[in-house]
Amino acid sequence: MQIDKGFWKEAGVGLSKAILVSLFIGAALVAPGGVAGTLKIVESIYEGKKLRRYNERQIQRALQYLRSRKLIDIEKQYNKEVFALTKLGHSRVQKLLKSFGIKKPASWDGKWRIVIFDIPETKKDTRETFRRQLRSLGLANVQKSIWVHPYDCRDQIFYLAGNMFIKPCVRYIVAEEITGEQDLKRRFDL
């Protein structure tokens, strides 16, 4: 399995960063085929894209680089190598995700972006992680499963949802008016 280099450049993420984010989201990776499979998850977010490829050697080099920087550990489980984030790697991914923020345009278009979700109880941990990510992106919590932001954040929301396998559970709405929006305007300094 090989992944397109240009795809990651467009997304602003190199192969090493993509591996770190995949590990953070919770995928256990078995080298090197497992890495490519996990990256395929991220690739699927951008459906219909024709891809060039990363080869196994490039993936192996990225893994060696991450290990040399003490961002991942390699453990043996059931006679296979499994990669896991170190504390330093975990910290680096959190910084990376913060840089993945929502850009503020010069002026607000007067529309609200509403994210709603209904994630099953069987995926409770995923639901809580998704909520934490929405909060870290700066969305305002209106109700447990309803979040609001004044600027376009569709790509960021579906990037996260796709990586967490909850894309079908998430809806994105653009609205011109919300009751009680004065509080939201104050919160976002509009």
Residue 94's pLDDT is what?
Answer: 72
Q: Is the pLDDT of residue 9 over 50?
A: no
Residue 54 sits in the same domain as residue 19 = yes
Q: Is the pLDDT of residue 12 over 70?
A: no
Residue 47 sits in the same domain as residue 127 = no
Residue 99's pLDDT is what?
Answer: 59
Is residue 166 domain-resident?
yes
Q: Is the pLDDT of residue 61 over 70?
A: yes
Q: How confident is the model at residue 42 (pLDDT cuts 50, 70, 90)?
A: very low
User: Please, which contacts does 91-97 make with residues 24 or more away whose CB atoms are closer than 8 Å?
Assistant: 92/20, 93/20, 93/21, 93/23, 93/24, 94/24, 96/13, 96/17, 96/20, 96/21, 97/21, 97/24, 97/133, 97/136
Residue 90's pLDDT is what?
Answer: 80
pTM of the model: 0.55
Q: Is the pLDDT of residue 106 over 70?
A: yes
Domain boundary among 98, 125, 153: 98
What per-residue string of b and e applies to 34-66 under the rule 16 or more CB within 10 Å gives b? bbbebbeebbebbeeeeeeebeeeebeebbeeb
Residue 109's pLDDT is what?
Answer: 92
Domain boundary among 73, 98, 123: 98
Residue 76 sits in the same domain as residue 150 = no
Residue 78 sits in the same domain as residue 48 = yes
Q: Is the pLDDT of residue 45 over 80?
A: no
Higher pLDDT, 79 or 126: 126
Is residue 106 domain-resident?
no
Instruction: State the CATH number of the domain containing residue 31.
Output: 1.10.10.10
Residues 80 and 19 sit within 8 Å (Cβ to Cβ): no
Domain count, the chain: 2
Return the CA Rg of the chain. Answer: 18
Is residue 103 domain-resident?
no
Q: Is the pLDDT of residue 2 over 80?
A: no
Could you list the residue range(s) of the whole structural domain that residue 168 is in?
112-187
pLDDT digits (tens, 9 = 90+) for 24-39: 665 545 444 555 555 5
